[in-house]
Structure 1
Amino acid sequence: MGYIEDLRKIVGTRPLILVGAVVGVMDEQDRILLQKRPSGVWGLPGGLLELAESAEEAGRREVWEETGIEIGALELVGVFSGEKYFVKLENGDEFYPVTIAYRTTDIKNKKIRIDGVETLDAQFFELTNLPAETSALVRTMIQKYTKYVE
């Protein structure tokens, strides 16, 4: 069992502040890697930090777990937090995420592998041609990423 599951046993569904990392993986054609989650929404690979894990380590781990792509060096793009990002899950759990967003072009392998659980699909997209089901948060993050690509 992970850190968050252990914490939830203690605090129940009460709001928490949770730190996560996402990574904008950019290929040589300046396309961005997005993953389709079970909710049907496309987003950046990423997730919450585990105990003793750095944000960079979490970003690399999550990209690997969710897409099968191994990445290297990361560039900090920004930190996203505040009331507008509040999340209430179907099971009643509530949290305010602090999301650390990174960008990388350091791709060690491009062979996409999806697990069919956390990720239903994963593809590289042109920044000007994102799927309609891309979340508003991800669109905001991608606007920041484009500053690095222009």
Structure 2
Amino acid sequence: MGYIEDLRKIVGTRPLILVGACVGALDNQGRLLLQKRPNGMWGLPGGLLELGESAEEAARREVFEETGVEIGQLELAGVFSGKQYFVELPNGDQFYPITIAYKSKDIKNANIKIDGHETLDAGFFDIGNLPEKTSPLVASIINKFG
């Protein structure tokens, strides 16, 4: 069991501040890797840090776990936090994420493999033609790419 699950046993569904990392991975055509989550929204692959894990380690791990894509070098794109990113999960768990977003053009392996649980679909998309149901965080991060 992971850190968050252990913490939830103690605090229940009350709001928490949780730190996560995500990656805006761009292929050699400049297309952005997105994943479709079970809620139907498309977003950047990423997730919450585990104890003892660096943000960079979490970012690479999450991209690989959720899409099968392996990422190398990371460049900080920005840190996103605030009430506009508040999340309430279907089970009632609430949290305010602090998301450390990275950009990477260093894709070591682009063979997409989805798990069917955290990720229902994944693919590379032109930044000017993203899926309709794309997370607002994606637009915030793309604006930081520069």
* Structure 1 residue ranges (4+ consecutive) displaced by more than 6 angstroms after TM superposition: none
Alignment of 1:89-108 (within 5 A): 89-108=89-108
**Distance in 1 of aligned mates of 2:111 and 2:85:** 32
Q: Do residues 65 (structure 1) and 71 (structure 2) align?
A: no
Stretch deviating more after TM superposition (130-139 or 46-55): 130-139
**Distance in 1 of aligned mates of 2:87 and 2:128:** 27
Distance apart, 1:139 and its partner CA: 1.6
Q: Do residues 42 (structure 1) and 42 (structure 2) align?
A: yes
Stretch deviating more after TM superposition (84-93 or 101-110): 84-93
Amino acid at match of 1:44: L
Three-state SS of the structure 2 residue aligned to 1:130 is coil
Distance apart, 1:123 and its partner CA: 0.6
Correspondence for 1:126: 126
**Distance in 2 of aligned mates of 1:103 and 1:97:** 19
Distance apart, 1:11 and its partner CA: 0.6
Distance apart, 1:72 and its partner CA: 0.7
**Distance in 1 of aligned mates of 2:59 and 2:38:** 20
**Distance in 1 of aligned mates of 2:140 and 2:74:** 19
Distance apart, 1:91 and its partner CA: 1.1
Determine what percentage of the aligned residue pairs are the same residue. 73
Distance apart, 1:141 and its partner CA: 1.4
Three-state SS of the structure 2 residue aligned to 1:27 is coil
Alignment of 1:1-150 (within 5 A): 1-145=1-145, 147=146
> Structure 2 length normalisation: TM-score?
0.98
Paired positions, count: 146
Question: RMSD value over aligned CA atoms?
Answer: 0.7
